[in-house]
């Protein structure tokens, strides 16, 4: 256990410089508590680094998101998939009015170029696998409200779906209307609600993929109370920067919302509008009309994922907070170093203290082996030790050391005179080759016991360097 604690001292990264007044040969003073703290702090820092790095690698660190509104003068949006659906929720559920055969209500798709209809309407029908449902796909809606037109831009294009009474005037191959009695009987009853389903997109900041969400709006379907609804599709442009070191921009355009404005009309409202905006002449009853257009207010969203530098800065700031513990350990090491120095001074004057050990807090610790050898009560011994520590603190100050040297100088000066002290400048030891040659042998034999012999003592005196004559023995 002692060897393990001694190894902890070598791990202490909070060591303090050793004062020249101590007898330590190392450059820094390290402690066991500092080694334990080093392991704990380093482990916490490494664990936090790996934790944040894994989160960053899995895109689980929150990106920086900023958004603003923009007024568009020109925009295009392509409906590649069935993003827009019209669905009839029929409580009776006996007849599908949108089917191709025995059709009752024909959804007609009109294309508005600016404010004119230039082409014949396209009839839309439900399918067997998706009854009561009309889908819009493979369309391009264009917003163009620029005052200065550019030849590269398309003209404004909007789409309108009119729920018209079935007529052979706009029937296509394979489609035919139900008989008049069936149509009248169906329209005379209440059937439920008309749902408008538009699939909106949302960015998943973890997977960096877009998720579709269905937003639903419904109105009552009453053949005697037709309606006109204007649906404004709100577009969003998202700019994603997922670069690791440098910017890497990707731009996406999608629908993020829509707004509906509805009003009640009459059965001939849609036919009148179509006849006024086109060269065609239609006479049909309509039970509902939807106009799809792009709203000129768009949202621009910028998503910036944390870069490597930001992640390292975040990790560094937290690790720096963790390493604030170093100030406590450095204070402890300084205090422990001072106490060891003071105890060394005390042991110079009172060798009895060499029999005692000191704990991590540098307090006297008595073992079971020498508990019976104590002649002074322990609490008195502790008070004496504290008093001696205060004296040692004063004694090891540089001004006190200089003071003691000056007193020794005056004593020698009074004893031997000024001439003796002046001649001390010329004193020294001659360098003998034998001393250097036997240096290693002297170190290995220093603790060996030799027989008492005058010649041996004389030989040993030749092997002792003058620098080591009065060095404190460890």
User: What does the pLDDT read at residue 272?
Assistant: 92
Phi then psi for 111, rounded to 5 degrees? Answer: -110, 120
3-state secondary structure (DSSP) of residue 453: coil
Phi then psi for 23, rounded to 5 degrees? Answer: -105, 20
In-domain check, residue 77: yes
Residue 260 reports pLDDT greater than 70: yes
Residue 460 reports pLDDT greater than 50: no
Which is higher by pLDDT, 115 or 359?
115
User: What does the pLDDT read at residue 288?
Assistant: 92
> Which of 304, 329, 346 finishes a domain?
304
Residue 315 reports pLDDT greater than 80: yes
Which residue, among 321, 452, 331, 249, has the nearest Cα to 33 in the 3D structure? Answer: 331
Specify whether the CB–CB gap between 421 and 371 falls below 8 A.
no
Are residues 90 and 226 both part of a single domain?
A: yes
Which residue, among 7, 4, 26, 31, has the nearest Cα to 332 in the 3D structure? Answer: 31
Cα separation values, 311 from 55, 93, 244, Å: 10, 58, 10
In-domain check, residue 231: yes
What single string gives the DSSP state of each residue in 53-93? HHHHHTT-SPPEEEEEEEE-SEEEEEE-S--EEEEEEESS-
In-domain check, residue 186: yes
User: What does the pLDDT read at residue 198?
Assistant: 92
Are residues 290 and 434 both part of a single domain?
A: no
Which is higher by pLDDT, 169 or 464?
169
Of 85-99, 125-139, 314-328, 430-444, the poorest mean pLDDT is in 430-444
Residues 6+ apart with CB under 8 A from 216: 195, 196, 197
> Which of 304, 321, 338 finishes a domain?
304
Specify whether the CB–CB gap between 356 and 346 falls below 8 A.
no
Query: The tokens of 143 are what?
Result: 């917003």
The tens digit of pLDDT for each residue in 75-122 reads: 998 887 778 999 998 877 778 999 999 999 999 999 999 989 999 999
Which residue, among 64, 99, 289, 92, has the nearest Cα to 186 in the 3D structure? Answer: 92
In-domain check, residue 377: no
Which residue, among 212, 260, 196, 205, has the nearest Cα to 80 in the 3D structure? Answer: 212
Euclidean distance between CA atoms 64 and 12, whole angstroms: 40
Residue 369 reports pLDDT greater than 80: no
Which residue, among 356, 345, 351, has the nearest Cα to 388 in the 3D structure? Answer: 345
Euclidean distance between CA atoms 171 and 90, whole angstroms: 24
Residue 6 reports pLDDT greater than 70: no
In-domain check, residue 156: yes
Are residues 140 and 286 both part of a single domain?
A: yes
User: What does the pLDDT read at residue 455?
Assistant: 44
> Which of 284, 304, 324 finishes a domain?
304
Specify whether the CB–CB gap between 222 and 167 falls below 8 A.
no
pLDDT band for 385, please (50, 70, 90 cuts): confident
* Average pLDDT value for the chain: 81
Phi then psi for 253, rounded to 5 degrees? Answer: -120, 130
3-state secondary structure (DSSP) of residue 166: coil
The tens digit of pLDDT for each residue in 419-459 reads: 888 888 887 777 665 554 555 555 555 444 444 444 444 44
pLDDT band for 355, please (50, 70, 90 cuts): confident
User: What does the pLDDT read at residue 464?
Assistant: 46
In-domain check, residue 474: yes
pLDDT band for 463, please (50, 70, 90 cuts): very low
Sign of torsion, CA 420 425 430 436? Answer: positive
Number of H-type helices and E-type strands within the chain: 12, 19
In-domain check, residue 13: no
Domain count, the chain: 2
Of 11-15, 37-41, 107-111, 171-175, the poorest mean pLDDT is in 11-15
Of 299-303, 327-331, 375-379, 449-453, the poorest mean pLDDT is in 449-453
Across 306-314, average pLDDT: 89
pLDDT band for 322, please (50, 70, 90 cuts): confident
Q: Which residue segment(s) compose the domain that 473 sits in?
A: 429-474
Is residue 179 left, alpha or beta, with left meaning phi > 0 and alpha meaning psi from -120 to 50? Answer: beta
Across 51-59, average pLDDT: 88
DSSP E strand boundaries for 242-362: 249-264, 286-294, 297-304, 357-358
């Amino acid at each position: 256990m002692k060897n393990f604690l001694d190894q902890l001292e070598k791990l202490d990264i909070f060591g303090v410089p050793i004062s020249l007044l101590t007898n330590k040969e190392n450059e820094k003073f390290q402690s066991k508590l500092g080694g334990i703290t080093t392991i704990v702090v380093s482990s916490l820092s490494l664990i936090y680094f790996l934790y944040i790095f894994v989160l960053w690698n899995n895109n689980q660190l929150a990106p920086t998101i900023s958004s603003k509104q923009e007024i568009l003068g020109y925009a295009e949006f392509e409906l590649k998939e069935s993003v827009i659906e019209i669905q009839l929720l029929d409580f009776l559920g006996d007849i599908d009015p949108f089917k191709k055969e025995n059709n009752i209500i024909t959804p007609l798709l009109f294309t508005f170029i600016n404010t004119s209809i230039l082409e014949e309407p396209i009839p839309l029908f439900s399918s067997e696998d998706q009854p009561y449902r009309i889908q819009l796909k493979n369309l391009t809606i264009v917003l163009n409200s620029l005052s200065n037109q550019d030849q590269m831009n398309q003209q404004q294009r909007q789409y309108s779906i009119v729920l018209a009474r079935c007529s052979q005037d706009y029937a296509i191959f394979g489609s035919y209307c139900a008989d008049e009695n069936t149509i009248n009987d169906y329209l005379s009853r209440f059937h439920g609600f008309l749902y408008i389903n538009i699939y909106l997109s949302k960015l998943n900041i973890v997977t960096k993929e877009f998720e579709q969400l269905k937003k639903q709006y419904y109105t009552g379907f009453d053949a005697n109370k037709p309606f006109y609804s204007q649906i404004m599709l709100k577009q969003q442009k998202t700019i994603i920067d997922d670069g690791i070191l440098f910017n890497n921009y990707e731009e996406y355009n999608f629908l993020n919302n829509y707004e509906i404005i509805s009003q009640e009309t009459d059965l001939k409202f849609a036919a009148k509008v179509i006849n006024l905006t086109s060269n065609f002449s239609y006479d049909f009853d309509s039970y509902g009309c939807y106009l799809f257009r792009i709203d000129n207010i768009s949202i621009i969203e910028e998503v910036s994922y944390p870069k490597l530098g930001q992640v390292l800065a975040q990790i560094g700031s937290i690790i720096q907070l963790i390493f604030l513990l170093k100030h406590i350990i450095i204070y402890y090491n300084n205090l422990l170093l001072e106490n060891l120095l003071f105890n060394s001074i005390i042991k110079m004057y009172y060798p009895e203290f060499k029999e005692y050990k000191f704990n991590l807090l540098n307090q006297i610790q008595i073992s079971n082996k020498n508990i019976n050898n104590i002649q002074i009560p322990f609490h008195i011994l502790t008070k004496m030790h504290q008093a001696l520590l205060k004296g040692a603190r004063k004694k090891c100050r540089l001004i006190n050391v200089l003071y003691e040297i000056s007193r020794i100088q005056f004593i020698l000066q009074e004893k031997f005179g000024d001439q003796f002290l002046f001649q001390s400048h010329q004193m020294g030891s001659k360098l003998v080759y034998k001393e250097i040659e036997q240096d290693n042998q002297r170190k290995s034999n220093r603790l060996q016991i030799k027989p008492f012999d005058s010649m041996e003592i004389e030989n040993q005196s030749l092997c002792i360097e003058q620098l080591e004559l009065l060095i404190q023995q460890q």
